[in-house]
Amino acid sequence: MVLLFLRFNYYIEKVQILYQKSMAKELNSREDNYSQWYTDIVTKADLAENSAVRGCMVIKPHGYAIWERMQGALDKMFKDTGHENAYFPLFIPKSFFSKEASHVEGFAKECAVVTHYRLKNDENGKGVVVDETAKLEEELIVRPTSETIIWDTYRTWIQSYRDLPLLINQWANVVRWEMRTRLFLRTTEFLWQEGHTAHATKDEAVAEAEQMLRVYAEFAEDWMAMPVLKGVKSANERFAGAVETYCIEALMQDGKALQAGTSHFLGQNFAKAFDVQFLSKENKLEYVWATSWGVSTRLMGALIMTHSDNSGLVCPPKLAPIQVVIVPIYRNDEQFKAISEKSREIKKQLEAVGVRVKFDDRDTQKPGYKFSEWELKGVPLRLAIGPRDLENGTVEIARRDTLEKEMLQMQNIDQKVVHLLEKIQKNLYQKALDFRTANTFKVDSWNEFLEQIEKGGFILAHWDGTPETEQQIKEETKATIRLIPLEGEKENGKCVYSGKPSSGRVVFARAY
Amino acid sequence: MVLLFLRFNYYIEKVQILYQKSMAKELNSREDNYSQWYTDIVTKADLAENSAVRGCMVIKPHGYAIWERMQGALDKMFKDTGHENAYFPLFIPKSFFSKEASHVEGFAKECAVVTHYRLKNDENGKGVVVDETAKLEEELIVRPTSETIIWDTYRTWIQSYRDLPLLINQWANVVRWEMRTRLFLRTTEFLWQEGHTAHATKDEAVAEAEQMLRVYAEFAEDWMAMPVLKGVKSANERFAGAVETYCIEALMQDGKALQAGTSHFLGQNFAKAFDVQFLSKENKLEYVWATSWGVSTRLMGALIMTHSDNSGLVCPPKLAPIQVVIVPIYRNDEQFKAISEKSREIKKQLEAVGVRVKFDDRDTQKPGYKFSEWELKGVPLRLAIGPRDLENGTVEIARRDTLEKEMLQMQNIDQKVVHLLEKIQKNLYQKALDFRTANTFKVDSWNEFLEQIEKGGFILAHWDGTPETEQQIKEETKATIRLIPLEGEKENGKCVYSGKPSSGRVVFARAY
Q: Average model confidence (pLDDT) for chain B? A: 94
Q: Average model confidence (pLDDT) for chain A? A: 94
**What pLDDT is attached to residue B18?**
57
| Interface contact flag, A92 B53, Cβ < 8 Å | yes
Q: How many helices (H) and strands (E) does chain A have?
A: 14, 27
3-class SS at B66? helix
Q: What is the mean pLDDT of residues B351-361?
A: 98
| Interface contact flag, A57 B89, Cβ < 8 Å | yes
**What pLDDT is attached to residue B4?**
52
Interface test with A, best of B91, B151, B179, B189 (most A CBs within 10 A): B91
Q: Which residues of B touch A142 (CB under 8 A)?
A: 90, 114, 142
CB B117 within 8 A of CB A110: yes
Q: What is the DSSP letter of B29?
A: P
B488: pLDDT strictly greater than 70: yes
Nearest by CB: A89 against B58, B141, B162: B58
A385 contacts: CB under 8 Å, gap ≥ 6: A326, A327, A328, A329, A339, A342, A343, A346, A395, A396
Query: How would residue B121 be classed by pLDDT, with cut points 50, 70 and 90?
Result: confident
Instruction: Looking at the complex, report in whole angstroms how far the Cα of residue B52 sits from the nearest Cα belonging to chain A.
Output: 8
Q: What is the mean pLDDT of residues B429-438?
A: 98
Q: Name the class of domain B440-509.
A: alpha beta
- Residue ranges of alpha helices (H) inside A241-332 are 269-273, 298-307
CB distance from B71 to chain A under 8 Å? no
Q: How far does CA B5 lie from the centroid of its chain?
A: 46
Chain B residue at shortest CA distance from A110: B118
C-alpha B238/C-alpha A93 separation (Å) is 35
C-alpha A58/C-alpha B16 separation (Å) is 50
Nearest by CB: A364 against B116, B149, B162: B162
CB distance from B88 to chain A under 8 Å? yes
CB distance from A108 to chain B under 8 Å? no
Q: What is the DSSP letter of B143?
A: P
Q: What are phi and psi of A292, to 5 degrees?
A: -145, 155
Burial of A13 (0-12, 13-18, 19+ CB in 10 A): exposed
Neighbours of B43 (CB within 10 A): 15
Task: Write down the CATH superfamily of domain A58-107+148-307.
Answer: Bira Bifunctional Protein; Domain 2 (3.30.930.10)
From the list B473, B481, B484, the residue with the least C-alpha distance to B449 is B473
- Residue ranges of alpha helices (H) inside A23-116 are 34-44, 61-80, 101-106
CATH fold group of domain B58-91+149-307: BirA Bifunctional Protein; domain 2 (3.30.930)
C-alpha A243/C-alpha A232 separation (Å) is 11
The pLDDT tens digits for A202-241 are: 999 999 999 999 999 999 999 999 999 999 999 989 998 8
B490: pLDDT strictly greater than 90: no
Outline where DSSP puts E strands in B380-504: 381-385, 394-399, 405-409, 440-442, 458-462, 480-485, 493-494, 501-502
CB distance from B12 to chain A under 8 Å? no
Question: Which residues of chain B does CATH 3.30.930.10 include?
Answer: 58-91+149-307
Interface test with B, best of A58, A85, A193, A363 (most B CBs within 10 A): A58
Outline where DSSP puts E strands in A204-253: 229-232, 244-251
User: What are residue A189's DSSP bridge partners?
Assistant: A175
Q: What are phi and psi of B171, to 5 degrees?
A: -95, 125
Print the SS3 string covering A106-169.
HCCCCCCEEEECCEEECCCCCCEEECCCCEEEEEEEECCCCHHHHHHHHHHHCCEHHHCCEEEE
User: What are residue A507's DSSP bridge partners?
Assistant: A460, A483
From the list A352, A382, A389, A356, the residue with the least C-alpha distance to A367 is A382
Question: Which residues of chain B does CATH 3.40.50.800 include?
Answer: 324-429
Question: Which residues of chain A does CATH 3.30.110.30 include?
Answer: 440-509
Half-sphere exposure of A213 (CA within 13 A, CB side): 27
Interface test with A, best of B4, B58, B280 (most A CBs within 10 A): B58
Interface test with A, best of B6, B16, B87 (most A CBs within 10 A): B87
Instruction: Looking at the complex, report in whole angstroms how far the Cα of residue A283 sits from the nearest Cα belonging to chain B.
Output: 10
Q: Which residues of chain A have pLDDT under 50?
A: 1-2, 23-24
C-alpha B137/C-alpha A405 separation (Å) is 55
**What value, to the nearest 5°, has the Cα angle with vertex B434 and ends B432 and B439?**
95
C-alpha A442/C-alpha A369 separation (Å) is 46
Instruction: Looking at the complex, report in whole angstroms how far the Cα of residue A260 sits from the nearest Cα belonging to chain B.
Output: 21
From the list A143, A316, A254, the residue with the least C-alpha distance to B56 is A143
Q: What are phi and psi of B500, to 5 degrees?
A: -75, 165
Output the DSSP codes for A436-459. HHHTEEE--SHHHHHHHHHH-SEE
Residues in chain A: 512
B295: pLDDT strictly greater than 80: yes
Question: Which residues of chain A does CATH 3.40.50.800 include?
Answer: 324-436
In chain A, what's the furthest Cα-to-Cα distance?
A: 87
| Interface contact flag, B111 A127, Cβ < 8 Å | no
| Interface contact flag, A52 B141, Cβ < 8 Å | no
C-alpha B398/C-alpha B419 separation (Å) is 14
How many beta-carbon pairs below 8 A join chains A and B? 230
Nearest by CB: A56 against B89, B97, B112: B89
B449 contacts: CB under 8 Å, gap ≥ 6: B443, B459, B461, B477, B479, B496, B497, B508
Chain B residue at shortest CA distance from A134: B110
Neighbours of A68 (CB within 10 A): 17
C-alpha B312/C-alpha B375 separation (Å) is 6
Instruction: Looking at the complex, report in whole angstroms how far the Cα of residue B369 sits from the nearest Cα belonging to chain A.
Output: 15
CB B351 within 8 A of CB B363: no
Q: What percent of chain B has pLDDT over 90?
A: 88
CB B139 within 8 A of CB B114: yes
CB A301 within 8 A of CB A185: yes
Q: What are phi and psi of A127, to 5 degrees?
A: 75, -145
| Interface contact flag, A84 B92, Cβ < 8 Å | no
CATH fold group of domain B324-429: Rossmann fold (3.40.50)
B378: pLDDT strictly greater than 70: yes
C-alpha A174/C-alpha A178 separation (Å) is 12
Nearest by CB: A114 against B61, B112, B160: B112
Return the sign of the alpha-carbon dihedral for residues A184, A189, A190, A195: positive
CB distance from A65 to chain B under 8 Å? yes
C-alpha B71/C-alpha B223 separation (Å) is 11
Q: Which residues of B touch A100 (CB under 8 A)?
A: none
For residues B246 and A124, the model is more confident at: B246
For residues B108 and A65, the model is more confident at: A65
Half-sphere exposure of B436 (CA within 13 A, CB side): 23
Do the strands B166-175 and B135-142 form a parallel or antiparallel pair, or are they unpaired? unpaired
| Interface contact flag, B91 A18, Cβ < 8 Å | no
CB distance from B330 to chain A under 8 Å? no
The pLDDT tens digits for B34-77 are: 999 999 999 999 999 999 999 999 999 999 999 999 999 999 99
**What pLDDT is attached to residue B1?**
46
Instruction: Looking at the complex, report in whole angstroms how far the Cα of residue B12 sits from the nearest Cα belonging to chain A.
Output: 10
**What pLDDT is attached to residue B364?**
86
Neighbours of A195 (CB within 10 A): 23
Q: How far does CA B370 lie from the centroid of its chain?
A: 28
C-alpha B276/C-alpha B290 separation (Å) is 10
CB distance from A250 to chain B under 8 Å? no
Instruction: Looking at the complex, report in whole angstroms how far the Cα of residue A129 sits from the nearest Cα belonging to chain B.
Output: 8
**What pLDDT is attached to residue B262?**
98
Instruction: Looking at the complex, report in whole angstroms how far the Cα of residue A107 sits from the nearest Cα belonging to chain B.
Output: 11
CB distance from A58 to chain B under 8 Å? yes
Q: Name the class of domain A324-436.
A: alpha beta
C-alpha A344/C-alpha B388 separation (Å) is 58
Distances, alpha carbon A391 to alpha carbons A386, A394, A395, B361, in Å: 9, 8, 10, 64
**What pLDDT is attached to residue B124?**
81
B125: pLDDT strictly greater than 80: no
**What value, to the nearest 5°, has the Cα angle with vertex A326 and ends A325 and A331?**
140
| Interface contact flag, A90 B173, Cβ < 8 Å | yes
- Residue ranges of alpha helices (H) inside B324-363 are 333-352
| Interface contact flag, A97 B277, Cβ < 8 Å | no
**What pLDDT is attached to residue A1?**
46
Neighbours of B123 (CB within 10 A): 7
Window 113-172 of A, Cβ < 8 Å to B: 113-121, 126-131, 139-142, 149, 152-153, 159-160, 162, 168, 172
3-class SS at B49? strand
C-alpha B59/C-alpha A289 separation (Å) is 23
Nearest by CB: B127 against A97, A128, A275: A97
| CB crowding A345-354: b at 16 or more within 10 Å, else e | ebbebbeeee
